[in-house]
Structure 1
Amino acid sequence: MQTILVPTDFSVTARNAALYAIQLAEDLGIPKVILYHAYQLPVSVDPMLPTMQLMDINEIKKIAEEGVDNFLKQVKASIATEVVLEAVNEFNVLDTGIEQVCENYNARFVVMGITGGGKVEEVLVGSNTTAIARKSKVPVIIIPAECKYTPLEEIVLACDFKKVAETTPVQAIKALLDETKAKLFILNVTEGGRGITPEVSQESLMIETLFQQYQPSYHFLEGDDFTEVINEFSSKHEIDLIITIPKKHGMFEKLFRRSHTKMLAFHSHVPLMVVHE
């Protein structure tokens, strides 16, 4: 049985991600959503003091259990669904715990908000979210803070057209397209006025072969701001999901690097799915 895993810190952002995951599960016929919380012992961070445990483990566990119970009640009160909701609360490091729970519960997706609680600086993306997205073997869907679920009818694959055959997770993308019957857009963004290179032209033939049954539309755009180009494209075509494949120095790095530009994850209402090769 497949599931969707939603890590939670009990924030409004996490609850919004949980609601998105439930509706996605309904549309894809996934019967269960796991709400996951990992807790650790807080320690002193004062460099003038020796590292010391600040709270008893049993006290931390009790607080975490109360938080999970309240979060589960809030989610259930926010949506009527036949999807089974199950909470998992454990003492663990977040990324390690997520990996283990994904395996134990046969998670198909991890769905996360981009922030924890509180106000977030524009130029940063939540470190937990990006760390998990970079490492996870399971596709991670990152939900912007104000995003509300819409059925996946228009999907864009942001592709750098480099080593397409070796790096594109074809089966995972095809499975989603088969289930949703979504229209597929394949988008390449060139920065710095370099234009379309011979390599891009050659690799575009490979990706055309991989996805020809879906009759995607191809778009080659130029712009100085990568995230702004994707934002504008997503708005124009009413995109419901952006798919990106993390590569070293690739598009994923551009999406999440620190910069003075407006970050796509904060300024788009479109969820971003990070899926590895």
Structure 2
Amino acid sequence: MKTILIPTDFSDTAYNAARYALDLARQAGTTRVVLYHAYELIIPDPEVPDHIPVIMPEELKEASDKGLALMHSKLQPILPAGVTLVCRSENQLLSAFIDQVAREEQANLIVMGITGGSGLEELLLGSNALDVMKETHTPLIIVPNGATFTSIDTVVFACDFRKVTENMPVRFLKQLLQVFRARLFVVNVDHEKRHFTAQTPFETLVMDTLLADFNPEYRFLENENVVDGIISFAEAEKAGIIVTLPRQHGFLAGLFRRSHTRQLAFHSHIPLLVIRE
């Protein structure tokens, strides 16, 4: 993970995500971190009353650059040795151009924080992080509000054992495990074997073959609530991160439900790594 990209809106949670990313960079051998601010120029609408002030592009650019300069200055004291911190700002829609920016910066990872502060669900139901998650092909770590970095000794990979060969994010997951030498749990949550199919044993074998070098430990959990099962297990094992795939809509959709707000707020110290290859 030579380069980490940190989109920011200069909020407290964005600063927290940046601090997390710098601590991660120290452990991962990262040499370059990019602070990125995408601001959007609002085009005047003829229907809008004239007394509403119109902000000029130059003003937005100046404010963006000042915000980045201040953030750069505040993060300097905790910048790991050997890591270069650079800034980039431009008039773009974040979600639409995040992959382009990641390619241009040769970023291996994106790290984002919550916008708000009432738990993980607010981030996922909010705008930027959810939009970026839907659009990016670069691995994305979502850092819950107030989370601090701890060495990633245990990884929980939430898996549904469907089309493993096609969907398994082998490359980045292996890189993560190699960097942190982490213990890997592959976790599947089901209730009364509703999702167990004739292909499940074969898919499990394929998974085991792909991850053979890392001695994965499998856990098949019985729980009516998939989200509760995954997060409770990660909590019990003191996992440093939960890994999931954006195609697994059952798990991610569960995270977005308002009914899980209290649950997610309680467990929100566990960052979520979303990978799509």
1:76 deviates by: 2.0
Counterpart code for 1:160? D
Percent of pairs identical after alignment?
Answer: 36
Distance 1:235 1:38 in 2: 34
Structure 1 gaps of 5+ residues are none
1:177 deviates by: 1.0
Counterpart code for 1:31? T
Distance 1:85 1:57 in 2: 25
1:223 deviates by: 1.4
Counterpart code for 2:61? K
Give yes or no for contact 1:2–1:105 (8 Å, CA) kept in 2. no
Partner in structure 2 of residue 259 of structure 1: 258
Matches within 5 A, 1:55-204: 55-77=55-77, 79-82=78-81, 83-113=83-113, 115-116=114-115, 118-120=116-118, 123-124=121-122, 125=124, 126-191=126-191, 194=194, 196-204=196-204
Counterpart code for 2:171? Q
1:195 deviates by: 6.7
Show CA shifts across 1:69-106 (max 9, x none): 112122224x2422211111111111233222211111
Structure 2 gaps of 5+ residues are none
Give the TM-score of the pair, scaled to structure 2.
Answer: 0.89
Alignment RMSD, CA only?
Answer: 2.5
Distance 1:135 1:229, change over 3 A: same
Distance 1:248 1:213 in 2: 25
**SS of the residue 2:134 aligns to:** helix
Give the TM-score of the pair, scaled to structure 1.
Answer: 0.89
Distance 2:157 2:248 in 1: 17
**SS of the residue 1:246 aligns to:** coil
Distance 1:100 1:67, change over 3 A: same
**SS of the residue 1:41 aligns to:** coil
Distance 1:24 1:226 in 2: 28
Partner in structure 2 of residue 246 of structure 1: 246
**SS of the residue 1:9 aligns to:** coil
